[in-house]
Amino acid sequence: MSALFSPITLRGLTLANRIAVSPMCQYSAVDGAATGWHLAHLGTLSASGAGLLVVEATAVEPAGRITHGDLGLYDDTTEDALARIVSHCRDHGSARLGIQLSHAGRKASAQRPWEGGRALGASEMPWTTIAPSAVAFGEGWHVPRAMEHADLERVKEAHMASARRAARLGFDLLELHAAHGYLLHQFLSGRANRRTDEYGGSIDNRMRFPLEVVRAVRKAWPRDRPLGVRMTGSDWVEGGIDLDEAVRFAHGLKAEGVDFVCVSSGGVTPTAAPRTGPGYQVALAKRVRDETDLAVRTVGLVTTPKQAERIVAAGDADMVALGRAFLDNPHWGWAAARVLSAEVERPVQYQRAADAVWPGAAYSDAD
């Protein structure tokens, strides 16, 4: 039996397999509201064979968007737009649905990647960014306003409000973004956090605000639904988070009722130099898993079914998340099931292409 295609239970949710579609920003929303692109994109991926589909980083307030095209969940308009997407995925897909809530902090007010990916210029409707400290992400980026205690409370409340909206929409799982150089990660990393109050300095102080957000969201999110955090295992830069600090943070998350973590890395500064390669973040995930006993998802250049199977079978991670592999093949889960001799649910309209009934399946990989 395939380890990758075995079920896993997180709190009150059982996933059919260990494959997750990673949250991937599409930069295609209008004023935070999902569009027809999201319907097509997420609708397809909900029937991809993955056990879990996580909706892209979704801003908890307008100023928390990375770009003008970022998805949001902070008012009735953005909630109603997502309701249409969720309904479609429920009707036609088999994946359980998660959503990742985020605030971009000092990396907000930026161009879409295909527009350059830099800070918005004066003629591009930029907005004021906030961060733990008035330290820009990099050269040419906006200098953020250092957050005051009123900002901390507002952002915490915004996370809670978005979590309640996500619960009302019927999402099965909620994930908070504390990686890739966004706001919660900025508090954690000494490269972005230069505060001298109770939210800066030691790792315990730098963890304080992210853990306060987690605690608040755990209270707002239904107790029977899992809560996770995408966290960083390493900043890959001097003065940033190392794996020892990451493990300490993961212990703190577990104490606050977090059910799983997705261990990523990098993104807090443009000068970071990760050592990339196939599965390059798996060792980070394994260390967190081994030392905390949390359920752990790994991500980053996991591309082939046999590679994913080895990771789960070896106990290096409990789940794998794939992003661009699903963009390349939106039915990656079907292909993985074929390679690993597993079963996966398909929409009834596509069942005639299943291995058992379509002779062409035996020749699909032939020359």
| C-alpha–C-alpha distance, residues 228 and 102, integer Å | 12
Asked if residue 2 is part of any domain, the answer here is: no
Other CB atoms within a 10 A radius of the CB of residue 30 amount to 13
Asked if residue 351 is part of any domain, the answer here is: yes
Phi–psi pair at 63, nearest 5 degrees: -70, -10
Other CB atoms within a 10 A radius of the CB of residue 226 amount to 23
Instruction: Specify the pTM.
Output: 0.96
Asked if residue 30 is part of any domain, the answer here is: yes
Asked if residue 160 is part of any domain, the answer here is: yes
pLDDT digits (tens, 9 = 90+) for 186-240: 999 999 999 999 999 999 999 999 999 999 999 999 999 999 999 999 999 999 9
- The answer on pLDDT for 362 being more than 90 is no
Q: How many domains does the chain have?
A: 1
pLDDT digits (tens, 9 = 90+) for 251-298: 999 999 999 999 999 999 998 888 899 999 999 999 999 999 999 999
Give the pLDDT band (50/70/90) at residue 171.
very high
More confident residue, 353 or 328: 328
74 catalytic, yes or no? no
Asked if residue 343 is part of any domain, the answer here is: yes
For residue 175, what pLDDT is reported?
98
- Three-state DSSP at 239 gives coil
Other CB atoms within a 10 A radius of the CB of residue 66 amount to 25
Other CB atoms within a 10 A radius of the CB of residue 134 amount to 14
Asked if residue 192 is part of any domain, the answer here is: yes
Asked if residue 3 is part of any domain, the answer here is: no
Asked if residue 1 is part of any domain, the answer here is: no
For residue 337, the surrounding DSSP H or E stretch is helix 332-339
CATH number of the structural domain spanning residue 226:
3.20.20.70
Other CB atoms within a 10 A radius of the CB of residue 300 amount to 25
Domain range enclosing 311: 8-363
pLDDT digits (tens, 9 = 90+) for 91-135: 999 999 999 999 999 999 999 999 999 999 999 999 999 999 999
For residue 228, what pLDDT is reported?
98
For residue 151, the surrounding DSSP H or E stretch is helix 149-169
Out of 27, 74, 182, 199, pick the active-site residue.
Answer: 182
Beta pairing class for 8-10 and 13-15: antiparallel
- The answer on pLDDT for 358 being more than 90 is no
